[in-house]
Amino acid sequence: MAAFTLDDYKAWARITDAVDDVAIQQAMDAVSNHFDLILRPVIWSDPPQPPPADVIQAGFLYVNRLLARRNSPDGVVGVSDLGTATIQPYDSDIKRLLGPWLATVLA
């Protein structure tokens, strides 16, 4: 899924430097591979259609989530003077945005 580029994500996340470009690209590749597996192929039809805004927003959020996990591999992150916070194993916003576009699985 080539739904968005490194520059698209950096503009969305308001990142102006190139310090984390490699990590961002790795996260984008992981999200792209995951989306290729779980989303309905009709989105990526021939000729290619641009992905819906919901899918792009979910992609940005998912990349952001993966980047945040770099600093919290055990799922716990420090929150200044407030102590620690647990990062949930899923993001309901991402799930809600992708819901209409998920491939149907028949068992």
Q: What is the pLDDT at residue 46?
A: 67
| Of 103, 89, 100, the residue nearest 38 (C-alpha) | 103
Higher-pLDDT residue of 38 and 104 is 38
Any idea of the CA torsion for 77, 81, 12, 43, to the nearest 10 degrees?
40
* Whole-number pLDDT of residue 18: 93
Which token pair is 85?
């916070």
Per-residue model confidence (pLDDT) at position 39: 84
pLDDT score for 71: 75
- The reported pLDDT for the residue numbered 93 is 93
**Which alpha helices (DSSP H) does 1-107 contain, by range?**
6-13, 21-38, 53-69, 92-98
- The residue ranges of every structural domain in the chain are 6-101
- Where is average pLDDT lowest: 35-49, 64-78, 91-105? 35-49
Here the tokens at position 80 are 């200044």
Confidence of residue 43 (pLDDT cuts 50, 70, 90): low
HSE of 38, CA atoms in CB hemisphere, 13 A:
16
Q: Which of 69, 59, 65, 67 is nearest to 97 (CA)?
A: 59
